[in-house]
Amino acid sequence: MYKRISAVLFPVTAILFIGSLVWGNQLKEERNAVEIHAENQYQRAFHDLSYHMDRIHDEIGNSIAVNTASQGMQRKSLMNVWRLTSEAQNELNQLPLSTLSLEKTEEFLSRIANFSYKTGVRDLTKEPLSDTEAKTLKQLYQNSGEITKDLQEVQNTALSQKLRWLDVDMAMTSQQELAGNSIIDGFSSVNKKVEAYPELEWGPSVSSMYTKRSVKMLSGVAVNEEDIQRKALKFADLGQGAECTIIANGQGTDWESYTATVQAEGMQPISMDFTRKGGLLISYTDGRQVGSKQVSVQQAMEKAEQFLEKKGYRSMKAVSADPYDNLVNFTFVRQQDDTLIYPEKMTVRSALDNGDIIGFQASEFVYEHQDNREVPEAKLSLEEARNTLNGDFKEQYTRKALIKNDRDEDTLCYEIGGRINGSKYKIFINADTGLEETVEVVKEADEGMN
């Protein structure tokens, strides 16, 4: 009997054993293939990073070498610097260095990209490089050369010692002791060197991008919790009988604010955020459940306009609508005389069951608002601006608009809406130069908001 059982079980066991060996070997081969692919990806990103840093160094040198009157060549070199720096940023982000502090290196590359782009896109025949910008370029040339040399040393060490990026990845993932790995030590050295560089004059258009908005930028006096409670109840149209809790946020920092939560009997809580300085409303959220769609986007927009007018936000105009499910988000901007002030914008969320406002985001409006913003006179007439349009563009409306250009400067434009190639667009034409500052596709829900 045991012989018969053995005769049956032995081949079955043998088959299972062989199968497990085959399966295990297949898993090993698949794992090896994945590791080889990952290693190749890391190696490619690293070598491309080293190559592009070398090219950045060369292109900055080219922009310095040409005559100051060679604006075309300067512009070409600067735009190449921007393109190469953007690629270098992408490649740095592909490397398994997430837990290694490279903040200064990433910020340095970001500033080079923005400096070269904002300098290169302007009309250098009318606004050539200033002495300060030329000095900054020379310093960037030196700094990029040092970074390139350090990366090439890491590259040579990795190749000669046959170092693997997968080992770096595992060290980062497992939080092992990072010191002693030549690749990690090399990148740490680069970051420390960048951190030690003297501060450069990047110019106001670039520096403004890295200036954090904080309550220090706001006017007005600091408010207390009683002030916020009074403001919150008034904005929510609730009396003193409603419950109101106040939480102070970011005390001692540049981001001090208050969160007020108000609730009346039978209602869902309403949450509001206020700045501590000036007590300005940043956001509003009504937590009620939204029912099925009963009103149109147009009806909801009219209710949103009434809501803003009632709450003291006057002369606001809806410029876009983004409906989804039973909600719609409207973007409003302030209108000053005959000009839309796009930097002063806010978002209002409406419920399409009854059109009531259930959300409100006004942080950009709070930090950008000026009671009497200076709007320059247009140097070009509307007819002159129209002459720059594509001949196939079918104009549907025009209006004046103040926007932020690529250098973060207030720029007066003619906003011209129309159709071409079966789609609708907004084209913003600089009212001084006639150049297109930006182009936006208009969604179907936005039609009728001009």
- Which residues, other chains included, contact 154 with Cβ-Cβ below 8 Å and sequence gap of 6+? 50, 182, 183, 186, 187
Q: Domain check: are 249 and 127 in the same one?
A: no
Whether 402 and 292 map to the same domain: the answer is no
Do 123 and 38 lie in one domain? The reply is yes
**Length reported for the chain:** 450
Residue with tokens 């919150």: 232
Average pLDDT over residues 299-322: 92
The pLDDT value recorded for residue 199 is 65
How far is Cα 222 from Cα 142, in angstroms, rounded to an integer?
Answer: 46
- 442, part of any domain: yes
Identify whether residues 400 and 281 lie together within a single domain: no
User: Domain check: are 150 and 247 in the same one?
Assistant: no
* pLDDT bucket at 23, cuts 50 / 70 / 90: low
pLDDT digits (tens, 9 = 90+) for 192-245: 877 777 666 555 545 454 444 545 556 668 889 899 999 999 998 887 778 899
Q: Are residues 284 and 145 in the same domain?
A: no
Assess if residue 377 is contained within a domain. Answer: no
pLDDT at 178: 53
Flag whether 400 is in a domain: yes
Range of the domain at 90: 2-210
- pTM to 2 decimals? 0.63
- pLDDT for 253 equals 64
Burial letters for 287-306: b for 16+ Cβ neighbours within 10 Å, e otherwise? eeebeebebebeebbebbbe
Task: Tell me, yes or no, whether 246 and 190 share the same domain.
Answer: no
Q: CA-to-CA distance for 378 and 380, rounded, in angstroms?
A: 5
Boundary (domain end) residue, out of 368, 394, 417: 368
pLDDT one-digit tens code per residue, 65-84: 876 666 677 888 888 888 88
- Within this chain, do residues 322 and 197 fall inside the same structural domain, yes or no? no
Identify whether 376 is part of a domain.
Answer: no
16 — pLDDT class (breaks 50, 70, 90) = low
| Residue 101 pLDDT class (50, 70, 90 cuts) | low
State the chain's mean pLDDT as an integer: 80
pLDDT for the residue numbered 210: 45
Using DSSP's 3-state secondary structure scheme, residue 332 falls into: strand
Same domain, 80 and 41: yes
Per cent of the chain over pLDDT 70 is 79
List, as one string, the DSSP characters of 122-169. S-TTTSPPPHHHHHHHHHHHHHHHHHHHHHHHHHHHHHHTT--HHHHH
375: in domain: no
> Following CA atoms 327, 328, 329, 332 in sequence, which dihedral angle do they give, to the nearest 10 degrees?
-140
Q: Is residue 373 part of a domain?
A: no
Q: What is the DSSP string of 393-421?
A: -EEEEEEEEEEE-TTS-EEEEEEEEEEET
**Better-predicted residue by pLDDT, 26 or 374:** 374
- Strands 339-351 and 394-404, by their bridges, are parallel
pLDDT at 209: 47
Percentage of the chain beyond pLDDT 90 is 24
How confident is the model over 320-330, as pLDDT tens digits?
Answer: 888 888 999 99
User: Do residues 248 and 353 share a domain?
Assistant: yes
Q: How many domains does the chain have?
A: 3
Whether residues 28 and 139 share a domain: the answer is yes
Do 131 and 264 reside in the same domain of the chain? no
Q: Which of 300, 335, 368 is where one domain is finished?
A: 368
